Amino acid sequence: MPQTVQGVIARAKGAPVELVDILVPDPGPGEAVVKVEACGVCHTDLHYREGGINEEFPFLLGHEAAGTVEAVGEGVTEVAPGDFVILNWRAVCGQCRACLKGKPWYCFSTHNATQRMTLSDGTELSPALGIGAFAEKTLVAAGQCTKVDADAEAAAVGLLGCGVMAGFGAAVNTGGVQRGDSIAVIGCGGVGSAAIAGAHTVGATTIIAVDVDDRKLERAKRFGATHTVNSKDTDPVAAIRELTGGHGADVVVEAVGRPETYEQAFYARDLAGTVVLVGVPTPDLQVTLPLIEIFGRGGSLKSSWYGDCLPSRDFPMLVDLYRQGRFDLDAFVTEKIGIGDVEAAFETMRGGDVLRSVVVL
Ligand SMILES: NC(=O)c1ccc[n+]([C@@H]2O[C@H](COP(=O)([O-])OP(=O)(O)OC[C@H]3O[C@@H](n4cnc5c(N)ncnc54)[C@H](O)[C@@H]3O)[C@@H](O)[C@H]2O)c1
Ligand SMILES: [Zn+2]
Ligand SMILES: [Zn+2]
């Protein structure tokens, strides 16, 4: 019997989100129903609502969550009812060409639930990133559930399910930041701050935070930024060069998703350095760069999906670092809100002074 629970949907492009009844089917083969305990509000949810990802409305929003497995379908062995899990949007298939090459963090055929959750009139919902966790319960592929220590705080560790993992991994996995490196991070929201924390954790010695909001820059210091640049009044490229002996940073992470910040990242890296685009652009955006500069500077221009993470490897490791006090996940939780407050949280996100609003159920 499908269960009726409350969930937050985006019905049409740009329309305010709504809290409505949704139907969650019993888990079929390979699926799990998860009782959501906490789910962070990520900028990508707002991109969905604004039609910036695709047009498959209505969306069931929410995708950085932790909860408890309530029921599993036939053939599920990786998790069992009662397990405390972080939901991931990279349930690797093990069979695609990336997986077969031994690079499962690039998996091109990740698993989601086969059945669809619906509105009470039967309209099928598109769960954000195949998760849909601004809901009391959600249906996912069992592989989307990564089991972690049950006594970790759900509001904090749930953030590993998207933004924090994406930022940490953009710096450490995709950017390959190491001990002694210099890194600049442009855009210090939840994702950028996690990139800073990641660089700090692995021992980068120059960590430059760039944002247009002084409050974000103040917080960035808490995550390990050694220098801050407000790019509203200072040229960030010149400032980053000056702070790195005139050369530019070894790695520059772009965590905004805009052409102007991408160009800053491009010019602020050292020769043979790495640019990592983790911010998600909307489909209309273009960038134009001199080809000779792309060639002449060498190095690499990369993008980072989900921080090139492998949930089964990275979530438990980051939960360990958190529990040991070496990675301050709690500092990402700016406010805890109710499931009816997601629209207000989008406004707060636009207003600036928040890393993550987390819906607690
Ligand atoms: N690649 C991935 O897997 C992945 C995962 C999660 C989120 N994202 C994307 O990462 C981006 C950041 O997400 P978030 O949740 O941290 O968003 P956020 O809104 O919390 O943070 C964005 C930050 O960028 C700053 N900013 C805006 N314009 C700027 C500019 N011109 N120069 C410098 N800073 C500027 C804002 O002040 C803010 O601090 C979004 O595009 C989001 O969709 C990507
Ligand atoms: Zn695969
Ligand atoms: Zn996200």
CA gap 278, 294 in Å, rounded: 19
Among candidate residues 225, 260, 244, 249, the one with its CA nearest the CA of residue 331: 225
Q: What is the token pair recorded at 127?
A: 């769960």
How many whole angstroms from 292 Cα to the centroid of ligand 2?
36
CB of 33 closer than 6 angstroms to any ligand 1 atom: no
**CA dihedral over 120, 145, 167, 354, signed as positive or negative:** positive
Ligand number, closest to the Cα atom of 104: 2
Closest CA to 137 of 311, 17, 21, 12: 21
In short, whether 196's Cβ falls inside 6 Å of ligand 1 is: no
**Residue found under tokens 């980068």:** 204
Query: How much is the pLDDT for 336?
Result: 98
Residue bearing the CA closest to ligand 1, atom 36? 187
Cβ–ligand 1 contact at 264 (below 6 Å) = no
Q: What pLDDT shows up at residue 352?
A: 73
CA of 168 to the centre of ligand 3 (A): 13
Instruction: Output phi, psi for 266, to 5 deg.
Output: -60, -45
Ligand closest to Cα of 187 equals 1
CA of 9 to the centre of ligand 1 (A): 22
Mutate to test the pocket of ligand 1, among 41, 44, 54, 193 (most ligand atoms within 8 A of CB): 44
298 alpha carbon – ligand 3 mean position (Å): 31
Bridge-based pairing state of the strands 31-40 and 206-211: unpaired
- Per-residue tokens: 192: 């950028």
pLDDT score recorded for residue 320 = 95
- Is any ligand 1 atom within 6 A of the Cβ of residue 265? no
Q: Would the CB of 44 count as within 6 Å of ligand 1?
A: yes
Does the beta carbon of 42 lie inside 6 Å of ligand 1?
yes
Ligand at minimal distance from the CA of 236 is: 1
> CA 217 from chain center: how many Å?
20
The predicted structure's pLDDT at residue 351: 83
Element (H, E) at 37: strand 31-40
Average pLDDT per block of 10 residues along the chain, 361 residues long: 97 97 98 98 94 95 98 97 97 96 96 97 98 98 96 95 97 98 97 98 98 96 98 98 98 98 98 97 95 96 97 96 95 97 94 90 96
Among 39, 41, 43, name the best residue to mutate to test ligand 1's pocket (greatest count of ligand atoms within 8 A of Cβ): 43
**Nearest alpha carbon, ligand 1 atom 39:** 189
